Amino acid sequence: MGMCKIVSVALALFAIVLGFGFGFVESFEFHEKDLVSEDSLWNLYEQWRTHHTVSRDLKEKHKRFNVFKDNVKHIHEFNKKDEPYKLKLNKYGDLTSHEFKSVFAGSKVKHFRMLKGTRGGSRSFMYEKVENLPPSVDWRKNGAVTNVKDQGQCGSCWAFSTVVAVEGINQIKTKQLVSLSEQELVDCDSTEDNQGCNGGLMESAFEFIKKNGGITTEQNYPYRARDGNCDSFKANAHSVTIDGNEMVPEDNEDALLKAVANQPVSVAIDAEGTHFQFYSEGVFTGQCGSELDHGVAVVGYGTTLDGTKYWTVKNSWGPEWGESGYIRMQRGVNKCGIAKEASYPIKSLPNIIKEPSHKKHEL
């Protein structure tokens, strides 16, 4: 098992989630009047299905309706509370929290960490002595973050997390923002630690990119949300290089802060629970453990007007989830284990691309 690995129960759920698209869908709102009766709830469910183009056969619809009904009521009741974050009914509305976790965040990073052994990368932490950090950082505003992407029904969060960090440091060093290929990592990084839609480690993906001589663009090697054979011709068309990678000292949010002040950082979190599934806005202070099962990237930090410290985290569940695809997570409490498995790429030189051994694709 690995980061974002789809466990066996998740395979049976593919039919449930096939209706989810990759494009932006406007938020779906509901009101108190929609919850007053079974009929009104059924009508709401049908409207929701139409809105998200979620297809169900009749037997499945009745089963899913009961899940949907529970989720709607929970969202409605929670949003009445005076909490620093809100929930919303999104495209995952008729999945239980267990089903959702199994499909979209269903792995244990511990297994791949055990396979890999001691945390690798450089033994040093280049930002250890950094001082006088700014009170807030947002790499999106600095032009170092691409648009939010959607991993779909593939346990490839590790690839998306890796790519955010590489895109970020490349823009910081070259002033050019290039959207890079997660699919290349899914198809071509076939080390013991990384297994495509069955999960992986960001640390190992950085090592693959360095060893491979770079990574190609998303445009050249587009995302397909499924495992495939490595297209070596496309993969050899390197666009961005890195010089190595480092691990942030474990469970150390002060160290993570120093790293994020200098570049976007790949992290692993425990994304379990209904509140993560339906997170909408605000600073997430909800319950979660530290069983790392989902790869994301920290692209900034800040403090709200009422003094709540947060991390700005880029997810890979599409732009409709959360705050346009992002979540602000409470900072200073190692929320969801965010500081347990943080890593980042090193890039000190401009891109040095080796010429591919073949000039054209042999058909």
Catalytic sites, residue numbers: 157, 294, 315
Among 158, 154, 127, 138, residue whose Cα is nearest residue 3: 158
Pair of tokens at residue 64: 């899913």
Report the distance separating Cα 317 and Cα 24, nearest Å. Answer: 11
Does residue 315 contact residue 105 with C-beta atoms inside 8 Å? no
CA 79 from centroid of its chain's CA atoms: 25
Does residue 289 contact residue 337 with C-beta atoms inside 8 Å? yes
- Paired with 122 in beta bridges are 246
**Per-residue exposure over 323-337, b if at least 16 CB sit within 10 Å of its own CB, e if not:** bebbbbbbbeeebbb
Report the distance separating Cα 338 and Cα 153, nearest Å. Answer: 23
DSSP 246-291: EEPPTT-HHHHHHHHTTS-EEEEE---SHHHHTEEEEEE-------
